[in-house]
Chains A and B, each alone.
Chain A
Amino acid sequence: MPQAKEIAFLAAARRNIWPNADAIFKWLTVAAAVVVPVIIVAIFWELLSLSWPALQKFGWRFFITEVWNPVTQQFGAASSIYGTVMSTLIAMVLAVPMSIVIALFLVELAPPWVSKIVGNLIELLAAIPSIIYGMWGLFVFAPFMARYVQPFLGEYFGFLPLFAGPPMGIGMLTAGVILAFMILPFITAICRDVFALVPAVLKESGYGVGATTWEVTYKITLPYGIVGVLGGIFMGLGRALGETMAVTFVIGNTHKISLSLFAPGNSIASSLANEFAEATEIIYLSSLIALGLVLFLFTFLVQVISQIMLRRLYRGWSIKI
């Protein structure tokens, strides 16, 4: 067959023009992939070297000092770290149980067409940009909190120092609630996958001995998929820690630690977003970037834990991610 010979010849000829094309292509892709870990290392290095002046000047006391005074050039991270942790804590307390029951609703309770629509709508919550949550939070949700939610909490739980003080709308609580809405879709999505992947046989045997839907979820589904749920929770935690614009709009931006959740505060990300433009002195800028370094370390740790958990889950179920 001359044709086959011809094709073989042409193929050989073409291969000779680019004898190493395959190897070049492969190394090109490897180089592109290596860019990602290199960026992470570079971020760490950059943050460390830029925050060095502040860390050297203030030492470890930087992390426990509440003072933040650009005039006297005294800086401490305590109020920002407290605000980040507190707003994230509020968000987690609200978002975790909500996400779990929403996932339960989507997988076990709702008919498929409802589940599809509701699931898609909840996922769209994740698509809305942070700054839009900020706009809505500042002009719509904070007044709503000030008028309805905070007076209610103040009246019935006002004896707790957490809910003391005038209802201003702007403050730690509002920031935490908005954060909860923002991370809800991430945790829900993972819980939903986890619930849907639990073998039907396990659930059915639960139902077979007369368990209710909640009992099956609580005693069979959750323990079976606990690694995945925890992975999802940590992923949401990572998001909440670093969320910037929405928090900046509503947290109030005061470098002060207040016990009351109604009081304004700040977070690492909000301090950065607010003050970066004003920071002209080296030590001011360096202190801000040191805050960034703290945030980087927080989220890096949380992300790594979340990845390890999700990976263990999927490996246990022999799914590759």
Chain B
Amino acid sequence: MKARPATGRRIVNLLVNVAASLAASTGIIVLLWIIIMLAYKGIPALNLDFFLNLPTPPMIPGGGLANAILGTLLLTVLATVFAVPIGLLAGVCLGEFGQQSKLADLCRFAANVLSGMPSIIVGIFVYGLLVMTMGNFSGLAGAIALAIIMLPVVARTTEDMLRLVPDPLRESALAMGAPRWKVTVAIIFRAARAGIITGVLLGVARVSGETAPLLFTALNSPYMMSSLLQPMPNLTVTIFNYAMSPYEDWQRLAWGASLLITAGVLVLNILARFIFGERKS
């Protein structure tokens, strides 16, 4: 048998290798491009006024986003408070009790589907469920919408992390006479702690940058919030409104808010990786 000439194949291979390196560089360039532009346009906007003052009408200097910063924090904390307990319990059901059951299979499937559901759909759902029935936009509705987005993330990571805990640990705890619930809460959770914290952090990171569901639920407000049942100011919807406005000072605030949100989300992500990486090593 005659050997096929290798030159053509080598050239194709080389081309693919170059394309692969170029594609990877493109991804990194886009990431850096976004981060550099955020820093370049956002840092000048971040001053004391930005953090301490309430928004002002356009063209009036000294406006800040104190209310929106607090509002976003509050919405995220509330969503976490709603989603984490249910998510943890659901994760326990999937990971500890329902390895083989059909019901658990369905729930796992549903969690995957829900985490891929566009967030704007969740926004419409909560709009119909709460905003229409209660008659006005509210921070509470916003927090619930965010919690629905967060829930599958927490449930699925908890399940995965519980799976990683070796069975002998469960068996030895059960052999000591501890009831099942105690084994799970006191021992398995402790063993899987780093992973579960990672899941929660990723969930928080996912929802803290969300905008679309808030458009239909928390809406936005130029005032300091007074009640959970009123529209709640928040950074992301503020970015949307201000960026689309023709006023330069509002656009500057939008860049500042964008930088703040991105920094927060990236720090959460890197922190989550770091915690999980430490556990593995």
* Partner-B contacts on A (CB < 8 A): 7-8, 11, 15, 18, 21-22, 24-26, 28-37, 39-40, 42-43, 46-47, 49-50, 97-98, 101-102, 104-106, 109-110, 118, 120-122, 124-125, 127-136, 138-140, 181, 184-185, 188, 210, 212-215, 217, 235, 238-239, 241-245, 248-249, 269, 272-273, 276-277, 289, 292, 295-296, 299-300, 303-304, 306-307, 320-321
Interface residues of B in 226-276 (CB under 8 A from A): 236, 239-240, 243, 251, 254-255, 258, 261-262, 265-266, 269, 273
- Contact at B110–A40, with CB atoms within 8 Å? yes
Residues of chain A lying within 8 A (CB to CB) of residue B216: 276
Residues of chain B lying within 8 A (CB to CB) of residue A248: 240
Interface of A: prevailing SS:
helix
Please give me the residue from chain A that is nearest to B6 by CB atom: A210
At the interface, yes or no: B163 with Cβ under 8 Å from chain A?
yes
Contacts A37-B110, A46-B128, A307-B109; is A131 near B27 (CB within 8 Å)?
no
Complex Cα distance, B85 from A74, in Å, reads 45
Complex Cα distance, B86 from A120, in Å, reads 30
Complex Cα distance, B175 from A95, in Å, reads 52
Residues of chain A lying within 8 A (CB to CB) of residue B205: 127
Complex Cα distance, B261 from A135, in Å, reads 12
- Contact at A140–B33, with CB atoms within 8 Å? yes
* Partner-A contacts on B (CB < 8 A): 6, 9-10, 12-13, 16-17, 19-21, 23-24, 26-28, 30-31, 33-34, 37-38, 41, 85-90, 92-94, 96-99, 103-104, 106-114, 116-122, 124-125, 128-129, 148, 151-152, 155, 163, 177, 179-181, 184, 205, 208-212, 215-216, 236, 239-240, 243, 251, 254-255, 258, 261-262, 265-266, 269, 273
Residues of chain B lying within 8 A (CB to CB) of residue A242: 117-121
Contacts A40-B113, A307-B109; is A32 near B27 (CB within 8 Å)?
no
- Contact at B266–A241, with CB atoms within 8 Å? no
Complex Cα distance, B34 from A17, in Å, reads 59
* Cβ-Cβ contact count across A and B, 8 Å cutoff: 266
Contacts A135-B254, A212-B10; is A36 near B211 (CB within 8 Å)?
no
- Contact at A128–B112, with CB atoms within 8 Å? no
- Contact at B118–A295, with CB atoms within 8 Å? yes
Residues of chain A lying within 8 A (CB to CB) of residue B208: 129
- Contact at B255–A32, with CB atoms within 8 Å? no
